[in-house]
Structure 1
Amino acid sequence: MKKTFIALLFLMSTVAYGQSAFAKAEQLFKAEKFDKAQIAFTKLYEQDHSDLDVIERLGDIASHQNNFEKAMGYYKKLIDSNSKSARYNFKYGGAMGLYAKSSSKLKALGMLDDIKKHLKKAAELDPKHIESRHALSQLYCELPGIVGGSISKSRSYADQLIKISPVDGHLAHGYIDEYEEEYDDAVVSYQKAVDTGGSLLTYRKLASIYQHKLNDDKKALETLKKASLKHIDTQLKADILSLESKIEMND
């Protein structure tokens, strides 16, 4: 009885330690202290190679460090453990896609089918999965037609996004408009994103089109000033001052 109690006590303390260590590692991750978080999660992984939460975080850290090949290795372990997870399929397919971008064209072409497979599977497994549809919309937009690129398919995923999250759908359509150099249409799409969501990102997307594609600094400034009424952001203030100075010099 005594030995059983001691064994249970040891087990409980070990679990508590593991939970505490994970919480501390997670704090480092959320604070974007990725080097320290990597050390903490690696120690946890060494203690338990089957902890999927730890494996996922190590993959996330590798992704943040732009080490997509390493991230793929961790995410592959997740897929092998649970191939029915939309999140796991998205992360694996996404890491593959980003790794392919930095690889040779021949190597990237060889990975294309797997990238599509996992991103599509994520979208199929979760009818409301936003990130996978964003990735697929961008992928089909950027791919040359000869290897399966299709603006109509890209638009179809953007349309799906509008039904799930209107602001994400308008941003996706804006991206396609911009890629196709249809800048007036991009203004319309990004303005819809501003009206629907109003995040700082939506304002910046709209301002960027005005400034860098339509050469309309005044419209860009007007957009950033509207953003400043809703968002307190140091960089935003600096960008407004910089644009004001540029306009004054050109007048």
Structure 2
Amino acid sequence: MKQLGYIFFLLPLAVWSQGNFEKGEQLFKQEQYAMAAPYFESFLNENPNNPQTMEYLGDIAAHQKKWDKAIANYKKLKTQFPKNAGYQYKYGGALGMKAKESSKFKALGMIGEIEDSFKAAAKLDVRHIESRWALVILYLELPGIVGGSEKKAQYYAGELMAISPVDGNLSKGHIAEYFKRYTEAEKYYLKAMAIGQSKTTYQRLADLYKNKMNLPEKAKQTLDLYQKKRT
């Protein structure tokens, strides 16, 4: 009977703890990140190393641009689950955002770990689109002296093409646009638009017309076409 009493005493604590997680998740889905965080933190105190809670807290910190906190949560996750592509990608992404806000000297020291995390995610999941996009952008923006290369960016754009023709064409268009090959970029964006028919594909083409090719009328026609397809 004494043991049964302990069970009844502990049961409300477990229910309260679970309620914290559910409340935090509800607020997170409503994008009420600051309000969600305390509920997740309370739940984590009762359930140390709970991966889903740590990921939510990492995501909240990332939304709030608190990169050190995001990095700490994602690092715990990727250490605990080294074969999880999503955790590797999020860790690399948070590191990358911190690097962008750091001095050039400090950022240079972070490049290797950022690259390794994205490559690990791509290797762990042969269909992981986000990590391949991240590598395309990383190799475009890095100076050649520290590993930047169009050839490397094209390699991962090619992998994207095999996984998702829409993303493949968008990434190849992005590369061409980066190097000011606007006619080539237009060709790839048109292909992506024809295949995907999504707002993103129309927007990328319209942005190219308006901001790079000085063709505001074509930009307007592209966006108008998207609106017509929606009705």
Alignment partners' CA distance in 1, 2:211 and 2:49? 49
Aligned to 1:196: 195
Match of 1:237 in 2: none
Residue 26 of structure 2 is aligned to residue 41 of structure 1: no
Partner deviation per Cα, 1:155-194 (whole Å, 9 max, x = no partner): 1101101111111111111211111111111111111111
Q: Alignment RMSD, CA only?
A: 1.7
For 2:24, the equivalent position in structure 1 comes to: 25
Are residues 5 and 197 of structure 1, via their aligned partners in 2, closer, same or farther at CA, if it must alter by over 3 Å? farther
1:16 deviates by 3.9
Contact 2:203 2:223 in 1 (8 A): yes
Q: Deviations over 1:191-211 (max 9, x none)?
A: 111111111111111100011
Given residue 42 of structure 1, which amino acid in structure 2 is its aligned partner? Answer: E
SS of residue paired to 1:175: helix
Q: Secondary structure at the match of 1:192?
A: helix
Contact 1:86/1:126 (<8 A) preserved? yes
CA contact (8 A) 2:20 2:42 kept: no
* Cα-to-partner distance string for 1:80-131 (whole Å, 9 max, x where unaligned): 2121211111110111111101111111110111111111111111111111
Distance 2:31 2:153 in 1: 32
Q: Which amino acid aligns with 2:55?
A: E
Counterpart CA distance in 1 for 2:127 and 2:150 is 22
Q: Which runs of 4+ in 1 moved over 2 A?
A: 2-21, 45-49, 229-232
What TM-score, normalized to structure 1? 0.86
Partner of 1:153: 152
Alignment match, 2:207: 208
Q: Secondary structure at the match of 2:110?
A: helix
Q: Is the 8 A contact 1:200 1:231 kept in 2?
A: no
- Trace 1:1-251 onto structure 2 (pairs within 5 A): 2-9=1-8, 13-231=12-230
Q: Distance in 2 between matches of 1:117 and 1:29?
A: 30
1:171–1:22 Cα change, 3 Å: same
TM-score by length of 2: 0.93
| Distance in 1 between residues matched to 2:230 and 2:16, nearest whole Å | 40
Report deviation, 1:231: 4.1
Q: Is the 8 A contact 1:101 1:108 kept in 2?
A: yes
1:239 is matched with none
> Counterparts of 2:69 and 2:130 in 1: how far apart (Å)?
21
Task: List runs of 5+ in structure 1 lacking aligned partners.
Answer: 233-251
What one-letter code is carried by the residue in structure 2 that aligns with 1:81? Answer: Q
The one-letter code matched in structure 1 to 2:44 is Y
Identity of aligned residues (%): 45
1:134 and 1:170 map into 2 onto residues whose CA distance is 12
